[in-house]
Structure 1
Amino acid sequence: LLLFPHFKEDEQFRRLISYNTTAVHIPTDIYEGSTIVLNELNWTDALEAVFRKNKEEDPTLLWQVFGSATGLARYFPASPWMDSRKTPNKIDLYDVRHRLSPRPLSLQVSGSVSGLTLKLIHTSVNEMLETLSDDDYVNVVYFNDKAVKAACFQNLVQANVRNKRFLKDAVRNISAKGITNYKGGFELAFEQLSSLNVTQGRALCNKIIMLFTDGGEERAQEIFQKYNADKKVRIFTFSVGQHNYDKGPIQWMACTNKGYYYEIPSIGAIRINTQEYLDVLGRPMVKANNKAKQVQWTNVYQDALVLRYYIMLCFGLIPLFLDCFFSQRPQNQLILGVMAIDVSLDDIKRLTPRFTFGPNGYYFAIDPNGYVLLHPNLCPKNPKFQEPVTLDFLDAELEDEIKVEIRTNMINGETGHRTVHTLVKSQDERYIDRSERSYTYAPVKGTDYSLALVLPVYSLHYIHTTIGDTITQAKCKYLFFSSHREYCKDLKPSKNNTEFLMDFNEYIDRKTPNNPLCENGVLARFVATDGGITRIYPKSAGLDWTEDPETYESSFYKRSLDNDIYIFTPTPYQEDTNSKSIVSWNCNVVLVVWLWWLIAVVGVKLDISTWMTNFINATLKMNHVDCVILDDGGFLVMANRDEYIGQIGQFFGMIDPILMVNLVNMSLFTLNKTYDYQSVCDPKRESKGSAAGLRSVYVPTIADILNVGWLASAANVHGVFYVHNPYFAGSLTICLFVCVRVCCARACVLHLCVRSVCSTADTDDEIPDMSKESCITEQTQYFYDNEEKSFRGTLDCENCSRMFHAEKLWKTNLVFVIADAKLTCMSCDHKPLIQAEQPSEGPDPCEMAEKPRFRKGPDACFDNNERVGHVIILSSSVFKNGNRQI
């Protein structure tokens, strides 16, 4: 009898849900009818009652998940599993074991490696890199007749997203030549593991070397005797490809050095066999028992529960162990899996009094790696981003020495307070202001997070009021007195009231916009309040109002609070629009017993056409000079040329690059380049003529053809397969190692933390963002960084020169620039200065690796246990043996 659950739309999950049962996901590359899977389906069925009881006791719970070491995932409540990722033929490649589990990368390509075997090794290494977490350290070396580092990293580097991506690119560019020299490769690998730059300040835990090869005769015994006599470094070896070479030497390497030997005959075996080493590393943790059963929190993940909606998730997880004391067999000392729940960041945010902190006040938390949680600048742009969101605090804000110190103190779990004069990037990321911020931080009990509250000086106090009958309170039964002031100086008093009233009415008409003579170009007047209310006059102007009605998210509102001047901002430049305006604003201050509080921003919206006409007339329409007004970000506000009216709001470096360069050189403007590590870009497409690597003819075998489907699916998932000639031939004699220092307990535990069962469970509709890939973008902001008011200089070109003079306008963010016209000296050719966001390679990973940021690894380390049995010889091959041989 088959029972089908009844699904219905749920408001909490915003998708089809059934609370009557649990659901199970089994990876595609695991045989669902195997004895192990059937056994786990049977005993994990009892979790349904536990999950349901948990939900009754705490209705706010979202997903509850058990992730098994075999790849089975049981989750509650049940929901249809529909993989919407663009894999060929909709192949479901989700595997619960791939979520945040550490993976080392290693490659060895010996002299007899064929084209397909080389591809298998490359893919295996990429799979290994993906399993490494931020608590691991890694480097890749390859060798033929001599050992060489694959990338520019001189030592082990943190296995963060950027470093792993850089290593993947380096591995992809390796070519094959020469002869195999195991001694040189292992010697360099051991030197990497003993590097002092890596060991200082970090947990000394599991040390691993992984070798990928197709086999060889050399055992490198003297190297192991020299560097690993105490067996503190584990050696894992992988025989890659289908061949008849002697596997004895590489089996001996693994067994002699407390490691593991695997076979990867084809692409389908990669995903399973590249994570089996975790069973070995997990055995000491099993024996540690209760000491190892600690709740751990993962990095932040981003999930799309339904189309166009996404939620940020982090997980608390507890490892489960199987330790059979009646058996001394090592295979019984295993990690069964992980129990996990997800916590929505929105739920955490709802617990905080956001509007008490003011528009520019906020809170955030960071983990021991310095990654932020709940920071307002933590906003990934791709709802299908498969990697964890790891944004460092110093990347979320504009870095300075005091913030580096604050970050270090927070990671160390200290409590403190610092007041900082710092640079602040605007909400729209176009401007930078200098302001004062107060940082107060303390550790969060029971976790490894540290929490901070950031407030500007004007938000250190807030008004606490009692809501009452405000209309009644406004009534006053006392006398009202008005002082005898001359309010209207050009209105002559008259003894005749009728004449006085007529004169007064005429005066009012003359002084207000209703008079046709009053052409001041004001489109609207507005006041925006701290309470989120914006009032606009006239009413018709509100129909075209494009600013964010939530003042706490409005760039003009937040900027004005940090400045005591009038702020003018042109409408951002767009090539396809002719609607231009300028917004000017200032803020109001309420004084209450020597404490001050900013409550509102008042401003006007100006008609650019009218103001440009007045400006052109005021400059006498001189053709031999350029007169422009720029704001403090270098954006064009006004000019004396009709052709510039369509470029209002454009960055001046795109209009007159050479003049903008000189304004920067004269220190009128200072530039600051910032990187956004959360961006998405269109995939890079290389031309067919840009193939890299060795070009040769290769005739695929039947086995190659049969593996085409898996090759395609793996290429889609990992994004690291080749757009160049996929096959190599000739004498391929490269040996590539990955030297991995797996630090702390996270390397020992199979982190089966589920990213979210809904990360791939969505509708089958095509999602445009899926075609994009994560990338780094850069943007340059310009700002005033000195108190000088006047600047002048000369632009020297090949056969002409241009004089210029710039003057900052008092009590505003504007600067007036007059210069010899651009048309009078066309030999000053300079490429445009790009201020807008654009794709970038980001900071040099090699330079960053030389000066890594401070981090703190976990205190616990499970690297060895005397009660753990050792492996004699282990071979794993899904295609040859249906189960592991132990």
Structure 2
Amino acid sequence: MLINTLDGDGNYVLLGGEFPLEENEHFNKLPVNTQQSNIQVPTNVYNKDPNILNAVYNSEALNDVFISNFQRDPTLTWQYFGSSFGFFRIYPGIKWTPDTNGVVAFDCRNRNWYIQAATSPKDIIIMVDISGSMKGLKITIAKHTINTILDTLGENDFVNVIAYTDYVRYVESCFKGTLVQADLDNREHFKLLVEDLHVKGEAKIKNALKESFKILNEVCQGSMCNQAIMLITDGAMEDFESVFEEFNWPDHDQLYPFWIACNNKGYYTHISTLADVQENVMEYLHVLSRPMVINHDHDIIWTEAYMDTVAQSLLLMTSVAMPVFSKKKETLSHGILLGVVGTDIPLMEVMKLAPRYMLGPHGYAFLINNNGYILAHPDLRPLYKDGKKLKPKPNYNSVDLSEVEWEDKDLRTAMVRGETGSITLDIRASVDKGKRPIYLVNNYFFTDIDETPFSFGMVLTKGHGSLMFMGNVSVEEGLHDLTSPDLTIASEWTYCVTDIDPAHRKYTQFQAVIRYLLGKEPDLECDEMLLQQMLFDAVVTAPLEAYWNALMLSDRLEPGMETAFLGMRSGLMRTMRYAGTETRVAKTFLTPSDKDNLFTIDHFPLWYRLAVENTPGRFLYYPVNDKGLMSYESVLLSAVGVQMSLALLEKRFWATTKQVTVGRFFGEVDGSVMAALLKMGMFKKVSLFDYQAMCKNSHHHASGARPLLSVSFITTYLLLKRKWGSIHVATGEVTLSLFLAHKQRKVEALQPCDTAYPGFMYDESVREANSLIKCGRCQKMFVVQQVPDSNLVLIVTQADCDCSRQFGPISLQPKEIKYILQLMKSQKARRRPESCHSYHPKVSVRFLGCVLTDSCTESCGVLTSGL
């Protein structure tokens, strides 16, 4: 049965009983058929075309290959073959569902894995005719064609766009005479400019061709591989022989031979409607693939990070793919590409190779490609909130390492070059989603990964991760304490590998550990070092369970105490709830949805990271929301704390206060006192940056320059403020956060942007201070006192002196950084892909040329057909 087959009523025929589907945990819980692959054909491809039917039949042998691969390596995910004719074979088989309009839009030939495997890196000059004859539908088709060509380019390609009439015009004047990397930002920038093109004048192509040749001859910063000029016109009436004699004939072998259609052994296609654009543009990729195909080079490519379209998952993947071509001797010189075969690799699985427990609370591992773009990093934020939904950011897979590790450029340069080494850096970082600045000394270790364009990095923070504490307890003793009801382990960590044997996939990590220790699953592959550390932690922390239970039964437990908890470096946690879900203020704290406060594959819990940087023996307080308060005390290998209602602290101030303000930055509440504290040196202002922010689209909103803060940046601070007579009393955190909470307004569009924002850090050497602030006719007195054994400060201010006219609030809203366009043109250090196939003597054409958008008679010579 063919996908997209219609029944007599015009409805799509559903997959029948001969193709059973079962939900599979390994494939994102999608219903799949692990005994068969199946075929998907996009709606724009006729699924009964003889070429399609023959190619589908010939690809059936892949079904057994896919099944065999999965049986040998059960960790494999999707395996697939994308045909040059447009159909897509995928294993395991799934059900493809058309959209509400009955359209199956997925075309494998548009995917990066297909394009990168089918061609080598390329330098493309797009020439578009904007003379008066191109008015109406023609210029609309031309613009759509340009956009489609741009969509076939990737980060290893370089591009420029030239419009011409009787003069040559670069669509972006700042890119004059050069090539720019075809990354997402530059491609989208070109698309915006192309939309503003208008037709007028008479077309004279000769000067535009000369300019294009000049760029490709003289610019040495592109891909240094394939080169092509794409001409988009409704007719070319000039004789170009003199241009090619000057630039390409007869002995300039170092140049790629450029010509249009048959006069230069080139290639053209005729586009008459918008629907023709996609299919015709894709043809140029197959022509560029000919040298590689004739050489029989099965180059393996690895893609940038992307989100799984098939599974509709928000998890990041990378694809590894290679071309498939015809080996028939009679068609060898034709260089026929049959398609591309590949598989997906979840990047989360790659990062599991660097166990979280070995890296320490601030340590992490990361992965970048040859262009410096991040594939995996704990600070990579590929999603943003659009209302209540999470959506991928437009540039989620083109975030540069320098936009996350922005303190040093040498690290990026060394990794992009594929070097192996280490470097130590003083880092100005932030935690709690950017709200808490901290200073760290990080040791970076990096190396390249053989036969891939990737480089791997690992970070160990000074004082953490270099040494391991190993206890020695028996399995029997540890098992007894592991079964305590208050104990959990990190569900995202790999204590035991459960992916290899399908029979083990049903087990959670905790279940797998218990069964392995009991000897019920001896074939499980487990991390013996991590298990020994976990067993030791279970034994030494076991007395807490009895203590917490006794505390619950005693009268010493004050109302408001909701949760007691302990976290260990092995990912083990003990938790005691003193209040039910209905009565708890922080209902989601330490629940599966509260990723920030749990051990995950990316990070230790936030409270753990804050506690280990805290002064030993001192309690750390911070609010988890507008009503809940956290308190922690750090010890060598763990963090222990309690979570309480803020009302518990409010009682302490009730005698002297009447009003409470929670979650607001003190500088916004009282800018005069905050300014004085900064001047006195009690607090230090720190500049921080967010290169992954989302701002209002200035093209659609009058206030677009003002960035919109996402939910993840809304601040919560511990700040108690009450009034009593003429005195204000407030307590605030020592480490002040970065953003002012505000009510979000729904907007129509957000776009990626860079922002700068301040953070404030407390100087612990200043324990108390007092001063007077002159505010016109009055003087405002204030006193500041550090609260012993905590990260709190008590601020008492005079309430009857209003300084708001002389001292405005200190704004913590991030401000968008505006760049001059020249920055888009500048190229960062990158490493060119090792493989390049730009020429083969048996190929009758090394370049393809033009796209027709309207009629042209045979007398044109160059353009041979039209509407």
TM-score (norm 1): 0.68
**Contact 1:397 1:424 survives alignment (8 Å):** no
Structure-2 separation of matches of 1:372 and 1:122? 31
**Contact 1:802 1:819 survives alignment (8 Å):** yes
Shift of 1:312: 2.8
Q: Does 1:782 align with 2:821?
A: no
Structure-1 separation of matches of 2:75 and 2:479? 42
267-276 vs 159-168, greater mean Cα deviation: 159-168
Q: How does 1:597-746 map to 2 (within 5 A)?
A: 599-605=637-643, 608-609=646-647, 611-612=649-650, 614-615=652-653, 642-643=658-659, 645=660, 647-656=661-670, 668-675=683-690, 677=692, 686=700
Task: Pick closer, same or farther for the CA change 1:347–1:687 going to 2, 3 Å.
Answer: closer
Q: How does 1:354-365 map to 2 (within 5 A)?
A: 354-365=356-367
Q: Please give the per-residue CA displacement for 1:623-656, whole angstroms capped at 9, x wherever unaligned.
A: xxxxxxxxxxxxxxxxx7x45x2x4112345444
2:579 is matched with which residue? 540
Match of 1:10 among 24, 27, 42: 24
2:829 is matched with which residue? 854
Q: Please give the per-residue CA displacement for 1:683-740, whole angstroms capped at 9, x wherever unaligned.
A: 999599x9xxxxxxxxxxxxxxxxxxxxxxxxxxxxxxxxxxxxxxxxxxxxxxxxxx
Q: Does 1:868 align with 2:850?
A: no
Q: How does 1:359-438 map to 2 (within 5 A)?
A: 359-381=361-383, 385=392, 389-392=396-399, 394-395=401-402, 397-401=404-408, 404-438=409-443
Shift of 1:62: 2.1
Q: How does 1:272-671 map to 2 (within 5 A)?
A: 272-289=279-296, 292-303=297-308, 310-322=314-326, 324-327=328-331, 332-381=334-383, 385=392, 389-392=396-399, 394-395=401-402, 397-401=404-408, 404-456=409-461, 457-468=463-474, 526-535=565-574, 539-540=578-579, 543-545=584-586, 546-547=589-590, 548=594, 550-551=598-599, 552-564=603-615, 566=618, 568-571=620-623, 580-589=627-636, 599-605=637-643, 608-609=646-647, 611-612=649-650, 614-615=652-653, 642-643=658-659, 645=660, 647-656=661-670, 668-671=683-686
Structure-2 separation of matches of 1:60 and 1:473? 29
385-394 vs 40-49, greater mean Cα deviation: 385-394
Structure-2 separation of matches of 1:438 and 1:364? 13
1:212 is matched with which residue? 232
Shift of 1:64: 1.6
Shift of 1:160: 1.3
9-18 vs 871-880, greater mean Cα deviation: 871-880
Structure-2 separation of matches of 1:822 and 1:223? 83
1:40 is matched with which residue? 55
Structure-2 separation of matches of 1:804 and 1:106? 69
| Matched letter for residue 90 of structure 2 | Y
Structure-2 separation of matches of 1:391 and 1:81? 29
Shift of 1:391: 4.7
| Matched letter for residue 75 of structure 2 | T
2:80 is matched with which residue? 65
**Contact 1:255 1:872 survives alignment (8 Å):** no
Shift of 1:560: 1.9
Shift of 1:433: 0.9
Shift of 1:227: 4.3
Task: Pick closer, same or farther for the CA change 1:528–1:779 going to 2, 3 Å.
Answer: farther
Task: Pick closer, same or farther for the CA change 1:874–1:374 going to 2, 3 Å.
Answer: closer
Shift of 1:867: 1.8
Task: Pick closer, same or farther for the CA change 1:826–1:684 going to 2, 3 Å.
Answer: closer
Structure-2 separation of matches of 1:796 and 1:684? 41
Structure-2 separation of matches of 1:445 and 1:873? 34
Task: Pick closer, same or farther for the CA change 1:651–1:209 going to 2, 3 Å.
Answer: farther
Task: Pick closer, same or farther for the CA change 1:193–1:69 going to 2, 3 Å.
Answer: same
Task: Pick closer, same or farther for the CA change 1:849–1:232 going to 2, 3 Å.
Answer: farther
Shift of 1:536: 5.7
Higher relative contact order (CA 8 A, sep 6+): 1
**Contact 1:525 1:603 survives alignment (8 Å):** yes
| Matched letter for residue 88 of structure 2 | A
Structure-2 separation of matches of 1:283 and 1:809? 74
**Contact 1:263 1:876 survives alignment (8 Å):** yes
**Contact 1:675 1:842 survives alignment (8 Å):** no
Shift of 1:98: 0.4
Shift of 1:277: 1.2
**Contact 1:513 1:519 survives alignment (8 Å):** no
Shift of 1:131: 1.0
Structure-2 separation of matches of 1:303 and 1:338? 18
Shift of 1:335: 1.9
Shift of 1:10: 2.4
| Matched letter for residue 321 of structure 2 | L
141-150 vs 798-807, greater mean Cα deviation: 798-807
Structure-1 separation of matches of 2:776 and 2:57? 83
45-54 vs 608-617, greater mean Cα deviation: 608-617
Q: How well do the aligned residues superpose, as a CA RMSD in angstroms?
A: 4.5
2:196 is matched with which residue? 173
Aligned length: 697
**Contact 1:571 1:582 survives alignment (8 Å):** yes
SS at match of 2:289: helix
75-84 vs 128-137, greater mean Cα deviation: 75-84
Q: How does 1:86-101 map to 2 (within 5 A)?
A: 89-100=101-112, 101=115
Structure-2 separation of matches of 1:264 and 1:801? 78
2:182 is matched with which residue? 159
Task: Pick closer, same or farther for the CA change 1:416–1:534 going to 2, 3 Å.
Answer: same
**Contact 2:265 2:844 survives alignment (8 Å):** no
Q: Please give the per-residue CA displacement for 1:297-337, whole angstroms capped at 9, x wherever unaligned.
A: 11122126667x54332211111223554357x5x212221
Shift of 1:581: 3.7
**Contact 1:137 1:159 survives alignment (8 Å):** yes
Shift of 1:459: 1.6
TM-score (norm 2): 0.69
Q: Please give the per-residue CA displacement for 1:241-262, whole angstroms capped at 9, x wherever unaligned.
A: xxxxxxxxxxx64555664322
**Contact 1:255 1:871 survives alignment (8 Å):** no
**Contact 1:370 1:393 survives alignment (8 Å):** yes
Q: Does 1:115 align with 2:136?
A: yes
Match of 1:267 among 266, 274, 285: 274
Where structure 1 has 5 or more consecutive residues not aligned to the other structure, the ranges are 237-251, 475-511, 575-579, 590-598, 619-639, 691-768
Task: Pick closer, same or farther for the CA change 1:808–1:122 going to 2, 3 Å.
Answer: farther
1:624 is matched with which residue? none
SS at match of 2:638: strand
| Matched letter for residue 569 of structure 2 | D
Shift of 1:831: 7.7
| Matched letter for residue 431 of structure 1 | R
Where structure 2 has 5 or more consecutive residues not aligned to the other structure, the ranges are 3-15, 117-121, 385-389, 481-550, 705-745, 857-863
Structure-2 separation of matches of 1:831 and 1:184? 59
Shift of 1:79: 1.1
Q: Please give the per-residue CA displacement for 1:21-53, whole angstroms capped at 9, x wherever unaligned.
A: 321122222222223212212211222222222
Structure-1 separation of matches of 2:453 and 2:478? 52
Structure-2 separation of matches of 1:408 and 1:282? 31
**Contact 2:429 2:440 survives alignment (8 Å):** yes
Q: Percent identity?
A: 25
Task: Pick closer, same or farther for the CA change 1:787–1:849 going to 2, 3 Å.
Answer: farther
Structure-1 separation of matches of 2:792 and 2:694? 34
Structure-2 separation of matches of 1:60 and 1:875? 45
| Matched letter for residue 103 of structure 2 | I
Q: Please give the per-residue CA displacement for 1:39-82, whole angstroms capped at 9, x wherever unaligned.
A: 21221122222222223333332222111122121122211111
SS at match of 1:459: coil
Match of 2:170 among 106, 128, 149: 149
| Matched letter for residue 468 of structure 2 | Y
Structure-2 separation of matches of 1:19 and 1:5? 10
